[in-house]
Amino acid sequence: MSNFKRRPLAAAILALFSATPQIAAAQAQREQTLPEVKVQGAPDSGFKNDSTSSGTRTETPLRDIPQFINTVPQEVLRSQGINSMADALRTVPGITMTAPEGGTQANDNFWIRGLPAGGDIFMDSVRNVGQYNHDLFNVESVEVLKGPSGLMFGRGSAGGVINEVSKTPLLYGLKEAGFVLGTFGQKRATADLNVKTGESSAFRLNALLEDSDSFRDGVNVRKVGIAPTLRLGIGTQTDITLSYYYLRDDGVTDYGQPNLGAVNGFRPAPISPRKYFGITALDYTNLSTQIATAKIDHRINDSVAIRETLRWAGYKRNMEATIAQNLNDGPGPASKAITATTPVERIFAVRNHSKSRDNDDTMLVSQTELTWKLSTGAVKHTVLGGLELGQEKLHRWNYNFCKPGTYNFAKNACGAQIAAAPFLPGVLAPLTSPNPSDAYPAFDKVPNFTTDTFANTTALYVQDQVEFTPAWKAVAGLRWENYKTGYDNFRSLTGLPAAVTAPTATNPGTPASLRKSDSMTSGRAGLIWQPTKAQSYYVSWGNSYNPAGELGVYGGTGLNLTNATINTEPEENVNSELGAQWDFSNGIRVRSALFRNEKKNARVTDPVTGGLAVLSGKQRIDGLEMEVAGSVTRDWDVTYSAAYMDGDIINGGTVTAIGGTTLAGKEVPVPHFGSSLWSVYRLGGGWEAGGGYVQSSTRWLNTGNTGQIPGYTIVNAMLGYVQKKYDVRLNIYNLFDKTYYVGGYENNPSFIVPGSPRAATVTVRYRFE
């Protein structure tokens, strides 16, 4: 990896990488006591998971998977008081965050190893395409599978995938209620009820009710969630699981804060993270998510089993947003653009109520998988064959805002936009003290266009997990996928103001349609060497594809397909990785991986035509990751992870929005280094204390490298009292009240999302008999 830059930190981690095997082997020889066996999915499963089914679709020890996987288990989520997926993923180095199009409170848009992963979120290994704020009230653990994962997960997965593992019924009783009270008006209640209904059946119900404000002035959230699950035939030949998930989330749209513009290098403004630049009387985001799943696991005999997973999901979203798009020097008609010397007290943000979109998206997916365990001589195989059929439909309604009575349907234009100059004084706000309760001029909300988008997936895949000897193993597989997608874009008559004269219903406008079909073959291969039970080493290769018609949950159409990209082949993502795992006899596990991720043929604008896309771009991310998790002693649990990444754009065309900046030679917008630590010590008598930090180095906000997020280290602490029937925890976040920023707005350096100032929560969980 010639492009992997030498730095002292990287050298230190590499030294650990090479030295740890000797430590593990020595300790394994001195002490033969087996580690404590804990049931996966139980509330006390500890700070590490030893196996997963998401990486291979069979329950497999992590040491037998040639891929780096970060897991945030239930015990870590509880001890840190984490309730959202966004907060869980902030503890996983190698993940960066951007504010999704449309602005949401939880900032649920992620990049993995320097590549976008907005469409690569899964629930129980089934794609979860909806745009909503992922709550963890029904989640057992959060997994991040690093590197292209096309074999198991199909299209996308350029840098990896995020998988939520749901809570499932268990054959023991559990009745628990949880309550959270926190700063900034946080109020949250959850319930977890597990009832054994027979010798091999159980029912589990998880529920959520939340009514919370936010550290952002005027921003709040109201949530109602319920997730019943019935499981029949647990441990028998046929295991059936029927589940339903519902989450209603009503909140305020939040695009973050404006940076100080290009003239100031897009650096953050010296203002409180609490300042909100929207108009709370107008801005809203209402989200409704429903997911119904039926899963049947049938064991034909001791060697052959078949599994069918059928899922329907519906995602509805309605939003309006006010965006601070420009900065002015002064509030009056004579105001002018700011300069590098404009005092911050003279800067005013121009707030435009300019974004509105309604979504009604659905998904129907069937996964049929056959597992066959067999031997060919002394070689053991676990063969998995699968068929995936998917149908996704996105319905999008987009709107304009006009001065009342001025909309011209024939021209699809406003006689006077609300953002036009005569209205600027009504939507300006001092940069240091915006008022989210400001009045806004009256307007007509009129339909712009409506889009019906579809994607149909047909995929066949096969994988073989091979054990040549106890010391030598391999994993290899191929996936063929046909992906058909397209959209119909048309003008809508629904919702026109009474004052607007509409054309006849038989002539609503001219549809615009695009269609595309791609076939892709992806796979992976990995070789594993395990010289002792304490050591495991692997080398692996894997790839995935991003087709031009790939669905994206963000944007007006939800589809990346355009006239410029209609004739381009899928982009290919390739990962090469060298990894290791060491299991110490006291329960500590150390994992590490050296990797290279490449997007080999990224779509860029043709420099000759200036319009059509060509596959001549290339991005490369080299990195080193490590994770330490487990129990140092019986009373001391710890989890630590770190990632070093160095990303470069080898060839990337130009970006018109930033003055035609050439991207070749720029850095991929990832932090060079990130790490997180969390540790809990049980003091005796039920008392426990914990603490840790989340750290990130400076990173660019965009591929044009024109704006940065400063590096930060945030310290968190916890004090708990745990008894048989209840536990109480006090969590303090950002203990030293540091101002920091967790992300920007997609690839736009003009907006930045602040992190929370110092905050605290008290969580009480009570277990009923």
* 58-99 tens-digit pLDDT: 999 999 999 999 999 999 999 999 999 989 998 999 888 776
pLDDT of residue 34: 34
Alpha carbons 304 and 386: distance in angstroms, whole number: 14
Contact 595, 67 (CB under 8 A): no
Which of 207-211, 278-282, 351-355 holds the top average pLDDT? Answer: 207-211
* Burial (0-12, 13-18, 19+ Cβ within 10 Å), 732: middle
Tokens found for residue 455: 């994607």
Spatial CA neighbour of 55 closest among 118, 125, 157, 115: 125
CATH, residue 42: 2.40.170.20
Q: Average of pLDDT values for 286-307?
A: 97
Q: Based on the structure, what is the number of domains in the chain?
A: 1
CA distance 597 to 618: 11
Q: What is the mean pLDDT of residues 271-288?
A: 93
Q: Is residue 522 part of a domain?
A: yes
What's the one-letter identity of residue 613? Answer: A
Q: What's the mean pLDDT in 499-524?
A: 68
d(CA 478, CA 526): 12
**Predicted local confidence at residue 504, as pLDDT:** 39
Residue at 595 is within a domain: yes
Give the pLDDT confidence score for residue 426 in this predicted structure: 55
d(CA 40, CA 268): 44
429-483 pLDDT per residue, tens: 999 999 999 988 888 888 877 888 999 999 999 999 999 999 999 999 999 999 9
What element of type H or E holds 701?
none
Q: What is the pLDDT of residue 4?
A: 39
pLDDT at 607: 60
Task: Tokens for 80, please give them.
Answer: 């840190």
Residues 6+ apart with CB under 8 A from 193: 174, 175, 176, 204, 205, 206
Domain around 563: 8-767
- Residue with the bigger pLDDT between 586 and 37: it is 586
The pLDDT, as a whole number, for residue 14 is: 40
Q: How far apart are CA 108 and CA 64, in angstroms?
A: 31
Q: Looking at the predicted structure, is the pLDDT value of residue 625 above 50? A: yes
What confidence tens digit (pLDDT) does each residue in 606-623 have? 665 555 667 778 889 999
How many CB atoms lie under 10 A from the CB of residue 282? 19
Per-residue pLDDT reduced to its tens digit, 492-505: 666 556 555 444 33
Q: Which residue has the higher pLDDT, 590 or 398?
A: 590
Residues sharing a CB contact under 8 Å with residue 21, sequence separation 6 or more, in sequence order? 535, 580, 582
Distances (CA, A) of 167 to 80, 205, 461, 518, 662: 19, 9, 27, 36, 48
pLDDT greater than 90 at residue 706: no
In a domain, 3, yes or no: no
Mean pLDDT of the chain: 85
Residue 2 lies inside a defined structural domain of this protein: no
Instruction: Identify the DSSP state of 587.
Output: S
Dihedral of alpha carbons 487, 490, 494, 499, sign? positive
pLDDT of residue 703: 82
For 622, half-sphere exposure in the C-beta direction (CA atoms, 13 angstrom radius) is: 11
Q: Token pair for residue 318?
A: 């309605």
Please compute, for residue 594, the number of CA atoms within 13 A of its CA located in the half-sphere on the CB side: 14
pLDDT recorded at residue 7: 44
Average pLDDT over every residue of 289-296: 98
> Could you give the percent of the chain with pLDDT greater than 70?
84
Q: Which residue has the higher pLDDT, 408 or 695?
A: 695
Handedness of CA 561, 110, 162, 229 (dihedral sign): negative
Of 96, 154, 146, 104, the closest CA to residue 125 belongs to 154
Q: What angle do CA 129, 133, 138 make, to 5 degrees?
A: 90
Q: Using CA atoms of 308, 309, 310, 314 in order, give the dihedral in degrees to the nearest 10.
A: -170
In angstroms, the CA 313 to CA 361 distance is 8
Instruction: Report the percentage of the chain scoring pLDDT > 90.
Output: 59
Query: Per-residue pLDDT tens for 112-159?
Result: 988 888 789 999 999 998 888 899 999 999 999 999 889 999 998 888
- Specify whether the CB–CB gap between 392 and 551 falls below 8 A: yes
The pLDDT value recorded for residue 106 is 39
* Of 767, 737, 735, the residue nearest 754 (C-alpha): 737
Q: Among 32, 217, 256, which Cα is nearest to 752's?
A: 256
Return the structure tokens found at 554. 């963000």
